Chains A and B, each alone.
Chain A
């Protein structure tokens, strides 16, 4: 049994899942299952939001311990599903260790074209406007503001602006665009438009996952996720506030701040 390769496979799988936004206990579970196939006496995998520690050891060998720091975190359900699939096949004996490692390495990132992402960025606000009680006018405005959002996000990604600033800039654009539309159509409820448009960035899933992790007993991950969620919310709120203030400067009485 190549213990080293088992360890590398498990850590790679864990890292990919963690980077793709899987829950902590799910990452630990997957790593544990892979490590168990080495049939050593001690198997431990400890996953926190920002890193992984795993160790296997037998009485007759030096323990193998790996620490892996995980920097970036996003959500990629496709990757989680593929890692899950490979680890299940490997644990069931349908894949050799080497093949599993190679397949894990070959999992790609994006699966849609840029215009599909942009279309989705426009569709999300459009769909949320009626859910928040908006009428036809608000829905159309949300779609228009969604176009602004898609534009800012695409530009920001191309310029490789960091996440916090990009969220702030996008919500600034949203707020400014919504208030501009309000001047053109005075009956527009700009609050609904802004809230619908920031939905792609707002950390609703993050706060729910934070509570889930905490209920599961992963207090470190739960706390870290709560912090992350509030930071993201702060970025968005800061952007919206700045956008309103900016619009208010141009046209007094437009913003709250």
Chain B
């Protein structure tokens, strides 16, 4: 139940964010779907007790895969779906918590969130990197045939 609620939430949030990022009108729904898939993978793995960093990695992989697929189908740059879609996974709240706990003079918590945020940002970048590379390999093979 909570999972469904969360998935609907991430769809709404990502579609809304896509407007703020000036995504072209006809791709708003697709960006939302990419975000919902990412939110689903993230929530599903977190509920199964998987570590937050690993869940972010899996979710980013799913979003990158969806974005690349959408980009091929709808002939649009990958970024259009990726930037908005990645949002549920991306460590925005972590960035805020780092600085918040620095201001609140709680250095143990701020350094905990600093490490976690950098790890999450790192694994998301890695996931995007892996998918980019995989899709490049695939295209080159097709061209050779």
Contacts and interface: CB of A to CB of B under 8 A. Distances in A.
Interface stretch (A129-137, A157-165, A179-187): A129-137
A212 B19 CA distance: 23
B99 A127 contact: no
B24 interface: yes
A234 interface: yes
Contact of A203 (B20, B21, B95, B129): B95
Contact of A127 (B11, B23, B103): B11
A202 B80 contact: no
Interface of B is mostly: helix
B104 A208 contact: no
Interface of A is mostly: helix
B106 to A, nearest CB: 9
A204 B24 contact: no
A247 to B, nearest CB: 15
Given A78-B24, A130-B5, A131-B88, A199 B103 contact: no
A117 B22 CA distance: 9
Contacts of A116: 19
A120 B84 CA distance: 13
Given A22-B79, A256-B104, A132 B93 contact: yes
A205 interface: yes
A210 B80 CA distance: 18
A57 interface: no
Interface of B: 2, 5-6, 8-25, 39, 43, 76-77, 79-80, 83-84, 86-88, 90-96, 98-100, 102-104, 117-118, 121-122, 124-126, 128-129
